[in-house]
Structure 1
């Protein structure tokens, strides 16, 4: 496991912030941090693999990574990212498991304010200590996102190959039977392996991958109808599925809805 420590962290600090912009397609290899981390997508979509699951982080969401969590990041679109690092002693009651949160207006303002104060020539340590503590309290109360995709542990090459093939092309146009044939396994064997290893059936798992791809496309400004057809849906059926699974319509992930938040954090 690669140990990656963010710059300028000192043991006395309550936390640290970092701003980054990454282009679509960029991958950050598996690594871990000695501090807990919050990765916030101001705009764009991140695919974060931690343990045996992928966490999809759409705009205005953030992923919580406990200290020592090995993770990799794939930018599914251009990403404007903000990082918050928390010293272990500053962590409240957040889970020891990675999770995705929705970011509300107060958290957005806190993240912007923390970055501004850390860039100041004279740091106000009392303010920063309070701001980090409040950010942690807000994270503890923030609603969780449902885009969590279990991944195989690569012990069975057929299952691993199937999952990677679906991630590359999750369209309904490719049947489970076709996928089974392509990896050299019977439908019955692969279905049994799938449920045993991932805890859900193939159709449900592929639907989660489709949602991740859809959210990424929407964040890039692509039309709902185009995304729906590429995934093998009629537009109306796709919108119904999207709302049922994520609790919000596809239009909520329109990139224009995140431009104001991005501008605020840059200003």
Structure 2
């Protein structure tokens, strides 16, 4: 399915641009860049975003900040209602120069969705004020630290194994099985994981599992169903989740908070 084109972006600074689109589950948008900065946000559905050799699982409680010229690819893990903002480089210099994932509070959500839905209106005063306020909110939004490092394409075996785990992160499939499938020894792949990703296979797969689990829980899926999807018994999954993120999965709130300890939980995950 062809990807939807962004709104026309000229070289004139000033008011931002916006985009509202629906994407079906499974659609993939190939790597591309924009001349303007982008706020990538979905009011419903979950996206898998690959950028700067990292993967970000983005549920509706979060959005991605992409500075101008940042190459990124998107995979829709579910049907997605996208609402994006575009800001000219000269109007976003006070924001980060690197890709970031941030929490979307109620005000920022309403600003993004309203701007996307009222993009064709002629109320210049309202649009200018809304874009300015959205830019201010972006600068102060809490950042997320749960990211998944990705290998480059220099070793096909490692890249193939990582993609297989992303497509099926079940704990039922062991490292030895993955190694045999890609035609490499366990020792070779262990060395590649440490050198290229900075961690071992088991730790890296846990990061994938946690990111996918958080997105599923954010959509209201039962803990037991998420555990089975990842190849765990519910009790084992809850223990792993609590150990890695600091709270049990039952305390994860679909509103995007982790029982009031989101910052602590994500700092744990990043360590």
Shift of 1:228: 0.4
Aligned residue number for residue 126 of structure 2: 127
Structure 2: how far apart are the matches of 1:35 and 1:5?
14
Given that residues 7 and 18 in structure 2 are in contact (C-alpha distance below 8 angstroms), is that contact kept between their aligned partners in structure 1?
no
* Aligned-partner SS, 2:237: helix
User: Which residues of structure 1 form unaligned runs of 5+?
Assistant: 259-267
1:165-204 mapped onto 2 (5 Å cutoff): 165-204=164-203
Structure 2: how far apart are the matches of 1:103 and 1:245?
23
Given that residues 46 and 75 in structure 1 are in contact (C-alpha distance below 8 angstroms), is that contact kept between their aligned partners in structure 2?
yes
**Which sits farther off after the overlay, 80-89 or 203-212?**
203-212
Structure 2: how far apart are the matches of 1:5 and 1:34?
13
User: Which residues of structure 2 form unaligned runs of 5+?
Assistant: 257-271
Paired positions, count? 251
Match status 1:150 vs 2:111: no
Structure 2: how far apart are the matches of 1:253 and 1:30?
32
- Call closer, same or farther: CA 1:37–1:189 in 2, change over 3 Å: same
Shift of 1:205: 1.0
* Aligned-partner SS, 1:77: coil
Instruction: Give the structure-2-normalised TM-score.
Output: 0.83
Shift of 1:27: 0.7
Using CA pairs below 8 Å that are at least 6 residues apart, which structure has the higher relative contact order? 1
Structure 1: how far apart are the matches of 2:26 and 2:227?
22
Structure 1: how far apart are the matches of 2:117 and 2:180?
55
- Call closer, same or farther: CA 1:98–1:247 in 2, change over 3 Å: farther
**Which sits farther off after the overlay, 7-16 or 25-34?**
7-16
* Aligned-partner SS, 1:119: coil
Instruction: Give the structure-1-normalised TM-score.
Output: 0.85
- Call closer, same or farther: CA 1:249–1:88 in 2, change over 3 Å: farther
- Call closer, same or farther: CA 1:240–1:92 in 2, change over 3 Å: farther
- Call closer, same or farther: CA 1:240–1:52 in 2, change over 3 Å: same
- Call closer, same or farther: CA 1:72–1:46 in 2, change over 3 Å: same
Aligned residue number for residue 70 of structure 1: 71
* Aligned-partner SS, 1:152: coil
Shift of 1:182: 1.8
* Aligned-partner SS, 1:145: coil
1:1-20 mapped onto 2 (5 Å cutoff): 6-10=6-10, 11-20=12-21
Structure 1: how far apart are the matches of 2:246 and 2:127?
35
Deviations 1:166-207 (Å, cap 9, x if unpaired)? 111111111112212222222222111111101122112101
Shift of 1:250: 3.9
Structure 2: how far apart are the matches of 1:95 and 1:237?
38
**Which sits farther off after the overlay, 69-78 or 207-216?**
207-216
